[in-house]
Amino acid sequence: MQNFCDFSDPSDLRVLLLSGGAETSRIPHTELVNAAASGALAANAKNVFLCEEDENNGVLAEYLQPIVRLLPADSLTRCQRDLGEFKAFYQDHHFGAAVFLGYHGLKDLKLLVNGIPTTGLGLLAETLAALGVPVVACLGDVDSYEEVQKWMPRAAFLAIHAARSLEETNQVVREVVKSAVLERTERKRGVLSPPFEFEYSLTKPLDFSTRPLLLDVTLKGQSFFWSTWDFLYGWKVFWNIHSRYGAK
Protein backbone atom coordinates (compact mmCIF):
# COMPACT_ATOMS: atom_id res chain seq x y z
CA MET A 1 0.00 0.00 0.00
CA GLN A 2 1.29 3.45 -0.85
CA ASN A 3 1.55 5.57 2.27
CA PHE A 4 0.32 9.13 2.50
CA CYS A 5 3.22 10.03 4.76
CA ASP A 6 6.05 8.49 6.74
CA PHE A 7 6.82 9.98 10.13
CA SER A 8 9.10 7.27 11.49
CA ASP A 9 12.08 9.60 12.00
CA PRO A 10 13.94 7.95 14.91
CA SER A 11 15.32 11.30 16.09
CA ASP A 12 11.80 12.60 16.76
CA LEU A 13 9.73 9.50 17.42
CA ARG A 14 6.14 10.25 18.40
CA VAL A 15 3.91 7.43 19.61
CA LEU A 16 0.13 7.62 19.55
CA LEU A 17 -1.85 5.74 22.21
CA LEU A 18 -5.46 5.15 21.15
CA SER A 19 -7.67 4.22 24.09
CA GLY A 20 -11.09 2.63 24.11
CA GLY A 21 -11.59 3.76 27.71
CA ALA A 22 -11.44 2.21 31.15
CA GLU A 23 -13.07 -1.20 31.47
CA THR A 24 -13.68 -0.78 35.20
CA SER A 25 -11.84 1.76 37.34
CA ARG A 26 -10.13 4.83 35.89
CA ILE A 27 -7.12 4.48 38.21
CA PRO A 28 -5.89 1.12 36.80
CA HIS A 29 -6.60 2.46 33.32
CA THR A 30 -4.42 5.50 34.00
CA GLU A 31 -1.63 3.24 35.24
CA LEU A 32 -2.00 1.13 32.09
CA VAL A 33 -1.55 4.24 29.94
CA ASN A 34 1.47 5.29 32.00
CA ALA A 35 2.99 1.82 31.60
CA ALA A 36 2.52 1.98 27.83
CA ALA A 37 4.07 5.46 27.80
CA SER A 38 7.04 4.14 29.80
CA GLY A 39 7.52 1.41 27.22
CA ALA A 40 7.45 3.96 24.40
CA LEU A 41 9.93 6.14 26.29
CA ALA A 42 12.25 3.14 26.75
CA ALA A 43 12.07 2.68 22.97
CA ASN A 44 13.42 6.24 22.54
CA ALA A 45 10.11 8.00 21.91
CA LYS A 46 10.40 11.76 22.29
CA ASN A 47 6.67 12.35 22.72
CA VAL A 48 3.66 10.20 23.57
CA PHE A 49 0.15 11.35 22.67
CA LEU A 50 -3.05 9.91 24.11
CA CYS A 51 -6.37 10.01 22.28
CA GLU A 52 -9.41 8.61 24.09
CA GLU A 53 -12.80 7.78 22.67
CA ASP A 54 -14.63 8.47 25.93
CA GLU A 55 -13.44 11.33 28.14
CA ASN A 56 -15.98 10.39 30.82
CA ASN A 57 -14.47 6.94 31.18
CA GLY A 58 -10.83 7.69 30.52
CA VAL A 59 -7.64 8.52 32.36
CA LEU A 60 -7.20 10.75 35.38
CA ALA A 61 -5.16 13.47 33.70
CA GLU A 62 -3.51 14.65 36.91
CA TYR A 63 -1.83 11.24 37.31
CA LEU A 64 -0.44 10.94 33.80
CA GLN A 65 3.30 10.86 33.25
CA PRO A 66 4.71 14.21 32.05
CA ILE A 67 5.67 12.71 28.69
CA VAL A 68 2.01 11.97 27.86
CA ARG A 69 0.23 14.70 25.93
CA LEU A 70 -3.52 14.37 26.19
CA LEU A 71 -5.26 15.17 22.92
CA PRO A 72 -8.79 16.64 22.98
CA ALA A 73 -11.34 13.96 23.79
CA ASP A 74 -12.57 12.12 20.71
CA SER A 75 -10.42 14.31 18.43
CA LEU A 76 -9.45 11.34 16.28
CA THR A 77 -12.92 9.90 15.72
CA ARG A 78 -14.48 13.32 15.16
CA CYS A 79 -12.21 14.04 12.21
CA GLN A 80 -12.67 10.58 10.69
CA ARG A 81 -15.62 11.92 8.73
CA ASP A 82 -13.48 14.50 6.93
CA LEU A 83 -10.49 13.30 4.94
CA GLY A 84 -8.81 16.71 4.98
CA GLU A 85 -9.08 16.98 8.76
CA PHE A 86 -7.87 13.42 9.19
CA LYS A 87 -4.74 13.99 7.10
CA ALA A 88 -4.10 17.29 8.88
CA PHE A 89 -4.33 15.50 12.22
CA TYR A 90 -1.37 13.31 11.23
CA GLN A 91 0.56 16.09 9.52
CA ASP A 92 0.33 18.16 12.69
CA HIS A 93 1.47 15.40 15.05
CA HIS A 94 3.91 13.31 12.96
CA PHE A 95 3.20 9.94 14.57
CA GLY A 96 5.70 7.14 14.02
CA ALA A 97 3.75 4.31 15.67
CA ALA A 98 0.36 3.64 17.26
CA VAL A 99 -0.78 1.41 20.12
CA PHE A 100 -4.39 0.36 20.78
CA LEU A 101 -5.32 0.22 24.47
CA GLY A 102 -8.35 -1.30 26.15
CA TYR A 103 -10.67 -1.92 23.21
CA HIS A 104 -13.57 -4.32 23.87
CA GLY A 105 -16.93 -5.17 22.35
CA LEU A 106 -16.21 -4.32 18.72
CA LYS A 107 -19.12 -3.06 16.63
CA ASP A 108 -19.80 -4.75 13.30
CA LEU A 109 -20.06 -2.16 10.52
CA LYS A 110 -21.38 -4.58 7.86
CA LEU A 111 -18.37 -3.49 5.82
CA LEU A 112 -16.18 -5.67 3.60
CA VAL A 113 -12.83 -4.47 2.27
CA ASN A 114 -11.43 -6.79 -0.39
CA GLY A 115 -13.84 -9.39 0.94
CA ILE A 116 -12.66 -9.09 4.55
CA PRO A 117 -15.30 -8.22 7.19
CA THR A 118 -14.20 -5.33 9.37
CA THR A 119 -15.22 -3.33 12.41
CA GLY A 120 -14.51 0.30 13.14
CA LEU A 121 -11.28 -0.72 14.87
CA GLY A 122 -10.11 -2.70 11.86
CA LEU A 123 -10.94 0.16 9.53
CA LEU A 124 -8.95 2.52 11.73
CA ALA A 125 -5.96 0.14 11.77
CA GLU A 126 -5.89 -0.10 7.98
CA THR A 127 -6.36 3.65 7.63
CA LEU A 128 -3.38 4.23 9.91
CA ALA A 129 -1.36 1.89 7.70
CA ALA A 130 -2.38 3.94 4.66
CA LEU A 131 -1.08 7.03 6.45
CA GLY A 132 2.25 5.37 7.22
CA VAL A 133 1.55 4.85 10.93
CA PRO A 134 1.89 1.19 11.95
CA VAL A 135 -0.29 -0.20 14.73
CA VAL A 136 2.52 -1.97 16.54
CA ALA A 137 0.59 -3.37 19.52
CA CYS A 138 -2.93 -4.10 20.71
CA LEU A 139 -3.53 -4.30 24.46
CA GLY A 140 -7.08 -5.42 25.11
CA ASP A 141 -9.25 -8.46 24.53
CA VAL A 142 -8.86 -11.25 22.00
CA ASP A 143 -11.60 -9.91 19.73
CA SER A 144 -9.85 -6.56 19.34
CA TYR A 145 -6.53 -8.24 18.60
CA GLU A 146 -8.02 -10.60 16.03
CA GLU A 147 -9.55 -7.61 14.27
CA VAL A 148 -6.29 -5.64 14.28
CA GLN A 149 -4.29 -8.68 13.19
CA LYS A 150 -6.41 -9.04 10.05
CA TRP A 151 -4.97 -5.71 8.89
CA MET A 152 -1.64 -5.47 10.74
CA PRO A 153 -0.58 -9.13 11.15
CA ARG A 154 2.68 -8.30 12.93
CA ALA A 155 1.11 -6.24 15.70
CA ALA A 156 2.04 -7.45 19.18
CA PHE A 157 -0.74 -8.54 21.54
CA LEU A 158 -1.26 -8.54 25.28
CA ALA A 159 -4.53 -9.64 26.86
CA ILE A 160 -5.52 -7.29 29.68
CA HIS A 161 -7.37 -9.35 32.27
CA ALA A 162 -7.76 -9.74 36.01
CA ALA A 163 -5.58 -12.84 36.28
CA ARG A 164 -2.42 -10.75 36.70
CA SER A 165 -1.72 -8.31 39.48
CA LEU A 166 -1.76 -4.64 38.51
CA GLU A 167 1.99 -4.40 39.06
CA GLU A 168 2.67 -7.45 36.90
CA THR A 169 0.35 -6.21 34.16
CA ASN A 170 2.05 -2.82 34.02
CA GLN A 171 5.49 -4.42 33.84
CA VAL A 172 4.45 -6.66 30.95
CA VAL A 173 2.79 -3.71 29.19
CA ARG A 174 6.02 -1.72 29.38
CA GLU A 175 8.03 -4.55 27.85
CA VAL A 176 5.50 -5.33 25.11
CA VAL A 177 5.20 -1.69 24.03
CA LYS A 178 8.96 -1.14 24.19
CA SER A 179 9.64 -4.16 21.99
CA ALA A 180 6.82 -3.33 19.56
CA VAL A 181 7.90 0.29 19.10
CA LEU A 182 11.55 -0.68 18.63
CA GLU A 183 10.47 -3.12 15.92
CA ARG A 184 7.98 -0.72 14.31
CA THR A 185 9.59 -0.77 10.86
CA GLU A 186 9.19 -4.57 10.72
CA ARG A 187 5.52 -4.31 11.72
CA LYS A 188 4.61 -1.57 9.29
CA ARG A 189 3.03 -3.22 6.28
CA GLY A 190 -0.70 -3.87 6.16
CA VAL A 191 -2.26 -6.81 4.35
CA LEU A 192 -4.16 -5.02 1.60
CA SER A 193 -2.98 -4.00 -1.83
CA PRO A 194 -4.87 -2.05 -4.51
CA PRO A 195 -7.36 -2.03 -6.02
CA PHE A 196 -9.53 -1.78 -2.92
CA GLU A 197 -13.02 -3.21 -3.22
CA PHE A 198 -15.55 -1.92 -0.69
CA GLU A 199 -18.98 -3.33 0.12
CA TYR A 200 -21.18 -1.75 2.77
CA SER A 201 -24.61 -3.13 3.69
CA LEU A 202 -27.28 -1.25 5.60
CA THR A 203 -28.80 -2.80 8.68
CA LYS A 204 -32.15 -1.05 8.11
CA PRO A 205 -33.80 -1.07 4.66
CA LEU A 206 -34.23 2.28 2.93
CA ASP A 207 -36.06 3.37 -0.22
CA PHE A 208 -33.50 4.77 -2.67
CA SER A 209 -35.88 5.49 -5.54
CA THR A 210 -35.78 9.22 -4.78
CA ARG A 211 -32.38 9.40 -3.06
CA PRO A 212 -29.32 10.59 -5.00
CA LEU A 213 -26.30 8.30 -4.86
CA LEU A 214 -22.68 9.31 -4.55
CA LEU A 215 -20.48 9.25 -7.64
CA ASP A 216 -18.59 6.01 -8.33
CA VAL A 217 -20.92 4.06 -6.02
CA THR A 218 -23.15 1.19 -7.18
CA LEU A 219 -26.24 0.15 -5.24
CA LYS A 220 -27.49 -3.44 -5.29
CA GLY A 221 -30.43 -4.01 -2.99
CA GLN A 222 -29.34 -2.51 0.33
CA SER A 223 -25.60 -2.82 -0.34
CA PHE A 224 -23.20 -0.20 -1.70
CA PHE A 225 -20.18 -1.14 -3.82
CA TRP A 226 -17.21 0.98 -4.87
CA SER A 227 -13.64 0.39 -6.00
CA THR A 228 -10.55 2.59 -5.83
CA TRP A 229 -6.76 2.49 -5.97
CA ASP A 230 -6.62 5.05 -3.14
CA PHE A 231 -7.60 3.49 0.20
CA LEU A 232 -8.09 6.87 1.86
CA TYR A 233 -10.57 7.88 -0.83
CA GLY A 234 -12.44 4.62 -0.34
CA TRP A 235 -12.46 5.29 3.40
CA LYS A 236 -13.89 8.75 2.74
CA VAL A 237 -16.69 7.28 0.61
CA PHE A 238 -17.56 4.85 3.41
CA TRP A 239 -17.96 7.63 5.96
CA ASN A 240 -20.06 9.66 3.52
CA ILE A 241 -22.43 6.73 2.99
CA HIS A 242 -22.46 5.77 6.67
CA SER A 243 -23.26 9.29 7.82
CA ARG A 244 -26.04 9.67 5.23
CA TYR A 245 -27.71 6.30 5.55
CA GLY A 246 -26.02 3.84 7.89
CA ALA A 247 -26.24 5.92 11.06
CA LYS A 248 -29.98 6.52 10.68
pLDDT tens digits, 74-128: 666 666 667 777 777 777 788 999 999 988 767 778 899 999 998 888 888 888 8
- Using one digit for the tens of pLDDT, what is the confidence trace for 139-196? 988 888 888 888 888 889 888 765 578 788 889 999 999 999 998 877 666 677 889 9
- Alpha carbon distance 201, 242 (integer Å): 10
Beta strands, E only, 68-128 = 68-70, 97-101, 108-113, 116-119
CA distance 144 to 212: 36
Q: Which superfamily, per CATH, for 10-187?
A: Dipeptide transport protein (3.40.50.10780)
The DSSP code for 71 is P
pTM: predicted TM-score of the whole model, two decimal places: 0.86
Q: Judge whether residue 5 has pLDDT over 60.
A: no
pLDDT of 3 over the 60 cut = no
Instruction: Find the farthest-apart pair of alpha carbons in the chain and give their distance in angstroms, rounded.
Output: 59
- Quote the pLDDT of residue 6: 43
Q: Helix 26-42 and helix 166-182: axis angle, to 10°? A: 40
Number of H helices, E strands in the chain: 7, 11
Please report, for the chain, the start and end positions of each structural domain, with discontinuous segments joined by +.
10-187, 196-246
